Every structure is written in structure tokens, then in C-alpha cells.
Amino acid sequence: MPFLQVIILIMINQINGQRTASSVFHLLKGKKSSQTIQDARLYHLEKWFQTVPFLERKSFDQLIVELAEQRLIRVDEKLHVQVTAFGKEKLEGLSGVLPPLEFLHGWKLQDCASAFWKRLSLAVQVASHLAYRDSAYLPVTRDEQIQRWLKLFLARTRLPKDELAARLHQELVVLLKSQPVEDPLILVLRLTGKKRTGKTTVQASALLGVESTEYWFRFLHLLHFTIQHSIQHAADFPLLFAMAEDIYEPVVLTQSTRKTGGMLKKGFTLEEIVANRRLKRSTVEDHIVELTFHSPDFSIRPFVSEETEERVLQAAAVLSNKKIKPIKDQLPDVSYFQIRLVLAKYSK
């Protein structure tokens, strides 16, 4: 069973018949729509967000068809997907052999991880060639922004050529040894230096004898650990910390949501933000729901009274699900926006 298919089965199990397969696809791809962001938080699927950005819809649909044919999932008349009893048995049987991936957090780290990996890869290559006094090589990335960053990085470190390579090597050795979960070769095999070319995902997975999608998730897991550990222990890993500090965001919000949040802090009302920014009311409402999901100190009280909040919570408890429409049917005088805010608040 392909590792990605196992991940999809885990995700479907968590949404428990309340969403379509498309919601899982959009989560894995990292679609930054209000619905996908809400699904990630409500069903505790943030770790998988944007972890397979290269996934094609045709390939995903085929995986869903195969899961249904194996009677591991069922699809209802509204196209909602749910894991069958047989599927739950399968997951239970796999639980002992699946890697925990406890440091993986796609929503929080995946944008950062992409840039961090480019920086790390180029820094290792350049440090290696500097140590050998060799300036004739093709950089591993043609991203001009990454190349400009590296020039500033080299200028700020002010380390002799030999010492830069030694220090970077030492930081990576200590950091990779500090985690007992993944084989350091998962990351090291991908790095390029003076006398070696980094392996592709396919090549590295073959060398390690790991199925390619499992290797990909393990690589991301190790990369996410590297970022988090270097941020948390900056004094011990100054070079790795310098690669992450300006691109790591402890609270990840879309740029437009940040702007709405800034206006709310200045005292603008929802209606004033709609008029000032020339946005649809529903768009600003989406921003406020996103702020509720991801900002621990954000208060929903300007939009939802304590009484309404309690009524929504009671209705959700009785219905035993996170679907908005059934709650709305129970509470016709409460807006969809208010229901979404309450669910967002208590998803924490």
C-alpha cells in the first residue's frame, strides 16, 4: 500500500464522513482558501497541509478509487468519504509500523521549509567549494533571491573559508544526532558538495530501500525538525538559525488576513474594513475566522455574544459533528459567520 495512500486514509478517518475527498486533496496541495484552512484546523490536519504540493488530481483520484475498491472507504451520495470498519482495522494494523512524524507541521513550516532547504543546500555547496578553493561550479539553485541571501549570509558570518565548512558540518552533525527518529542520511544524501552530487528523491529513496512517498514524508519530517530545533536552540546552531530566523513564523497567516487583523487592532469595525479595503463581507469574515483559528489571544466577543456562543456549543455537542449547516438548521437566528467563529475558537 503506497505510503501516500495510507496518509490519505488517516486523513479521511479524521474528517469522519463530514467532507469530500476533494478537501483532502486541497489540504495536501496546500490550497489557502478559507474552507481548506478551516478544515485543517477543525479536523486537526494541519501537519499534512501542503506536504504534497506536486500531487496531481488524476493521481489522487486514482488512489481514492483504489481505496474504495479495497472497501477501505465508502463514498455517499453527497460524495462525502468515510473509512469503513474494514478500513479502521487496516489502520489499526498499520499503527505499529507507521513512522510517527511528530515534528511534521505543514501549515506552520512548509513555506519556511522550502526556502530553508534551498538556503541550506546552497550554503553547504558553497562552503564545500570554498574549502577546496574552487569557484568553478554550477549552483544547486538558480533562485536569485536565495543567491542574494547567501551573499549576505557569508558577509555576516565573517568566517574564514575553511572554518565556515567545519562549523556548518559540526552544527549539522550535532543537530541530526540529537533526534533519534530519522536516519540522518535521509537529508545528507540530498546535499551537494565539491566531490559529490546530491541525490534526487527517487535516487535517495532507492539507496535507503524506502518507498518513494514514505521517503518524501520522512525527508520533510527531518527538515521540519531541523528548523524547529535550530530556532529553539539558536545559541547552539547560529548558522542554521541564521538560515531560518527571517522566514520562520510562529503564527502563520495569509498576508491579507494580517492586514485585516491590523485594522481590527486599530479599532476598525467589520463593516469599515469591508468599505476601506473594498472587499466582500464574506472575505473579511474569512479573515476573522482565520485569525480565530491561529491567534491564541484573538477574541470573538465583538462578533458573538456569550449566550450565542453557548447555544452553538450545545447544538454542536448534540449533533456530534463539525458541519455548519446542521447547526444552522438548529439555530436559524445565528449566522453562519458566528457558527464558524465559535467552532474555530474551540478547535484550539
User: From CA 184, how far away is CA 169, in angstroms rounded?
Assistant: 13
pLDDT tens sequence across 288-333:
998 998 887 899 999 999 999 999 999 988 887 777 888 999 999 9
Question: Is-contact 288 341, C-beta < 8 A?
Answer: yes
User: From CA 91, how far away is CA 193, in angstroms rounded?
Assistant: 41
Question: Is-contact 328 339, C-beta < 8 A?
Answer: yes
Looking at residue 33, its pLDDT comes to 84
User: What's the gap between Cα 336 and its chain centre?
Assistant: 27
Looking at residue 95, its pLDDT comes to 87
CA 7-347-274 angle, 5° bins: 110
pTM of the model: 0.85
DSSP letters of 103-126?
T--HHHHHHHHHHHHHHHHHHHHH
How crowded is residue 111: how many other Cβ atoms within 10 Å of its Cβ?
A: 17
Q: Compute CA distances 233 → 26, 50, 205, whole Å.
A: 34, 26, 30
pLDDT tens sequence across 131-142:
999 988 999 999
In CATH, what number does 255-346 get? Answer: 1.10.10
17 three-state secondary structure: coil
Looking at residue 117, its pLDDT comes to 98
Residues of the chain with pLDDT under 50: none
Looking at residue 255, its pLDDT comes to 84
Cβ neighbors of 138 (< 8 A, separation 6 or more) are: none
User: From CA 97, how far away is CA 87, in angstroms rounded?
Assistant: 16
* Domain span(s) for CATH 1.10.10.10 in the chain: 3-94
Cell numbers linked to 22: 476533494
Looking at residue 146, its pLDDT comes to 97
User: From CA 284, how far away is CA 273, in angstroms rounded?
Assistant: 7
Burial (CB count <10 Å: 0-12, 13-18, 19+), residue 1: middle
Q: Compute CA distances 324 → 15, 127, 283, 290, 300, whole Å.
A: 14, 54, 18, 16, 17
> Which residue pairs, CB below 8 angstroms and at least 24 apart, start in 27-33?
28/52, 28/55, 28/60, 29/53, 29/55, 30/106, 30/110, 32/254
Looking at residue 297, its pLDDT comes to 84
Q: Which residues of 181-193 are buried (b: 16+ CB within 10 A; e: fewer)?
A: ebeeebbbbbbbb
Class of the CATH domain delimited by 3-94: mainly alpha
Tell me how long the chain is.
348
Helices (H) and strands (E) in the chain, counts: 18, 2
pLDDT tens sequence across 189-216:
999 999 899 999 999 999 999 999 999 9
